[in-house]
Amino acid sequence: MTTATAQLATGTWAIDPVHSSVGFSVRHLMVSKVRGQFENFSGAITVAEDGTPSVRAEIAVDSVDTRNEQRDAHIKSADFFDVERYPVATFTSTAVRADGDRYVVDGDFTLKGVTKTISLDLEFNGVNPGMGHGEVAGFEASVVVNRKDFGIDIDMPLETGGAVVGDKVTITLEIEAVKQV
């Protein structure tokens, strides 16, 4: 991530939840997608003296919002996230590598007590001096995961074939991080 980290000053960049989002989409009834987001999350990007970045983030999975209270309650249940036992999902990077004009951030993602290695496709949007509160950096990232890999294996088959909820879930991050002093 040489080009990007050349623009990112050494130190810690805290994720600004007011100007960031963590969302997801999953196939519903085989014909459309349900989208949702998490209202509570935090994290930081740390750039070492040698320019090597690392990322650590947490998502409060009980803050899920799909704009439907009944569905949200079901998603929070043991059928899906089991928020009583597993209230937080985490991501810790293990490597960052260039891939053309984009980057790939490899790391360990833990959801519902299961940890798997995932690779986020990342676009670095640059650095801005900010509006009096310090430098700001922007990133967009996404990854597709299989919910069953994380123990979310509820089957809700349709009579006509397929399932109510698809297996593939696209997670989308839009992150603004503020340089900490």
pLDDT for residue 5: 47
Helix (H) or strand (E) run with residue 167 in it = strand 165-179
Tens of pLDDT, residue by residue over 111-150, are 999 999 999 999 999 999 888 788 999 999 999 999 999 9
- Cβ atoms of 16 and 22 within 8 Å: the answer is no
Residue 88 has pLDDT above 70, yes or no: yes
Residue with tokens 């996230």, as numbered in its chain: 81
For 153, the domain range is 2-179
How many domains, the chain?
A: 1
| pTM for the model | 0.90
- Burial group, residue 59, by CB count within 10 angstroms (0-12, 13-18, 19+): buried
Q: How confident is the model at residue 103 (pLDDT cuts 50, 70, 90)?
A: very high
Sheet strands (E) in 29-164: 32-38, 41-47, 53-60, 64-65, 88-99, 102-111, 114-128, 136-146
- 3-class state of residue 117 by DSSP: strand
CATH of the domain at 128: 2.40.128.110
User: Angle at the Cα of 174 (from 72 to 138), degrees rounded to 5?
Assistant: 160
Residue 93 has pLDDT above 50, yes or no: yes
| Percent of the chain predicted with pLDDT > 70 | 92
